[in-house]
């Protein structure tokens, strides 16, 4: 219960105190007891209920505050529903007493930007899809006062180097922090690409922007092959994690839990690689990997090139069954209104010399918008199903 002078809640609070008999009767809780169940996004299939224990959530709060560099005077704003694991972002203030802005109603980008002004937000958070929209909005309407912001945090899905460059140019003087996390780790952030990393990348090592940073102190990370064996540094494979913010398992899915958590490790279903300095590069979700003519193609690699074309507003790349190649690389594109006449062949030609022949899309399909989950992640499984049903000639 919150109360304060002039808000008319003082008497209600006092009456509750008068009715209370002694100390509240807190339930006996063990660190391994379930705090809440959060469902996954369902981008690769049916959402699964992730059982998150008390201690995992406590550890997530402590480690997040440390890595983010939050202080008690910060004002933290996260525009999103609290009906999934993002709720952990709304309780970070339990660890340091900072102010947290909790949104009301459905998400509206201009309203969120105005709230930054109104509440003098110091640190904001956006998923890449929202970040892209925010950049467009700010460039079109430059009267937003974002002077209180000291840092913008982004993550939860892949961000292209172009998006990061645009964010740096738009949010002038504001630090950038990229994070990589998942529901199965209680929204514990697995890796961080710091503002210093952004500066270094933009100054002399642009390829570093394809990284999601270095692994948090909370986790061990191992890159493994299909047999579950570690691979050499620099080689790609599935990302396996071990740490103290892990889920207890999937609700009512013992077989899926056993498959996902062998020997105390978490199999993330994400494909990545580690370089010799410890930077983690996300290549794609394992289920989105395209095998065309026996060659592995990572959709995010193709998307990062296509989004550089001036006509492309958004793009999603998926594999569609093909009689000769096994799968064909197909790009689903939302065109910018100012470039509505661009052709699929023009985009394919743009990829020549920038991508290998297997990576270059065989087809381009134009749509008005891409399907997304409630937390703004692409529904690639839905796209793949639609395209496989005859949307591709």
Work out the average pLDDT over 12-34: 73
| 288 half-sphere exposure, CB direction, 13 A CA radius | 27
The residues spanned by each domain of the chain are 28-285, 289-391
Note the pLDDT of residue 280: 96
Note the pLDDT of residue 20: 59
At residue 354, φ and ψ (nearest 5 deg) are -105, -25
Q: Which residue shows structure tokens 């990370």? A: 221
Query: Sorting pLDDT into bands at 50, 70 and 90, what band is 3?
Result: very low
Token pair listed for 55: 């201690």
> Taking all residues of the chain, what is their mean pLDDT, rounded to a whole number?
88
Q: Return the sign of the alpha-carbon dihedral for residues 77, 83, 88, 94.
A: positive
pTM score, whole prediction: 0.78
Q: Which of 380, 182, 155 is nearest to 266 (CA)?
A: 182
Q: At a CB cut-off of 8 Å and minimum separation 6, what does 290 contact?
A: 296, 297, 298, 299, 317, 318, 319, 327, 329
Q: Which of 227, 298, 313, 305 is nearest to 262 (CA)?
A: 227
Options 3.20.20.210, 3.30.1960.10, 3.40.50.12780, 3.90.1150.10; CATH for 28-285 is: 3.40.50.12780
Query: Sorting pLDDT into bands at 50, 70 and 90, what band is 91?
Result: very high
Contact, 36 vs 53, CB < 8 A? no
Work out the average pLDDT over 117-122: 96
Q: Under CATH, domain 289-391 is a member of which superfamily? A: ANL, C-terminal domain (3.30.300.30)
Note the pLDDT of residue 98: 97
Note the pLDDT of residue 5: 39
82 DSSP assignment: S
Spatial distance between the Cα atoms of 98 and 314, rounded to a whole number of angstroms: 36
H or E, element range at 170? helix 161-170
312 DSSP assignment: E
Largest CA-CA distance found in the chain, in angstroms, rounded: 77
Spatial distance between the Cα atoms of 371 and 364, rounded to a whole number of angstroms: 16
pLDDT in tens, 254-299: 999 999 999 999 999 899 999 999 999 988 877 888 888 778 888 8
Q: Return the sign of the alpha-carbon dihedral for residues 178, 76, 48, 390.
A: negative
Residues in the chain: 393
């Amino acid at each position: 219960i919150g109360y304060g002078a002039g808000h008319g809640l003082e008497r209600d609070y006092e009456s509750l105190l008068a009715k209370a008999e002694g100390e509240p009767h807190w339930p006996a809780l063990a660190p391994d007891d379930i705090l809440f169940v959060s469902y996954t996004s369902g981008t690769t299939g049916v959402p699964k209920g992730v059982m998150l224990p008390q201690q995992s959530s406590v550890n997530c709060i402590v480690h997040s505050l440390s890595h983010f560099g939050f202080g008690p005077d910060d004002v933290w704003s996260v525009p999103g529903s609290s009906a999934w694991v993002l709720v952990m972002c709304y309780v970070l203030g339990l660890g340091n007493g900072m102010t947290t802005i909790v949104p009301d109603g459905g998400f509206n980008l201009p309203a969120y930007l105005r709230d930054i002004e109104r509440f003098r937000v110091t640190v904001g958070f956006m998923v890449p899809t929202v970040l892209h929209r925010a950049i467009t909005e700010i460039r079109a309407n430059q009267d937003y006062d974002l002077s209180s912001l000291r840092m913008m945090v982004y993550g939860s899905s892949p961000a292209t180097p172009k998006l990061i460059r645009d964010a740096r140019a738009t949010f002038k003087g504001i630090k950038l922090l990229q994070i990589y996390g998942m529901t199965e780790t209680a929204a514990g952030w697995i890796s961080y690409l710091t503002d210093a990393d952004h500066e270094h990348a933009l100054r002399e090592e642009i390829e570093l922007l394809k990284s999601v940073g270095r692994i948090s102190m909370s986790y061990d990370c191992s890159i493994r092959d299909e047999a579950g064996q570690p691979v050499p540094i620099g080689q790609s494979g599935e990302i396996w994690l071990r740490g103290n913010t892990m889920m207890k398992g999937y609700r009512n899915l013992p077989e899926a839990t056993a498959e996902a958590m062998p020997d105390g490790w978490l199999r993330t279903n994400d494909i990545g690689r580690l370089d010799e300095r410890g930077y983690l590069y996300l290549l794609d979700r394992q289920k989105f990997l395209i095998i065309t003519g026996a060659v592995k193609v990572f959709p995010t690699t193709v998307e990062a090139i296509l989004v550089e074309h001036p006509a492309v507003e958004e793009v999603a790349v998926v594999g569609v069954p093909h009689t000769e190649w096994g799968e064909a690389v197909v790009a689903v594109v939302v065109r910018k209104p100012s470039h509505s006449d661009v052709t699929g062949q023009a985009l394919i030609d743009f990829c020549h010399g920038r991508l290998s022949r297997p990576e270059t899309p065989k087809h381009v399909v134009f749509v008005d918008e891409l399907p997304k989950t409630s937390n703004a992640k692409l529904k690639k499984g839905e796209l793949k199903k639609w395209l496989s049903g005859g949307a591709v000639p």
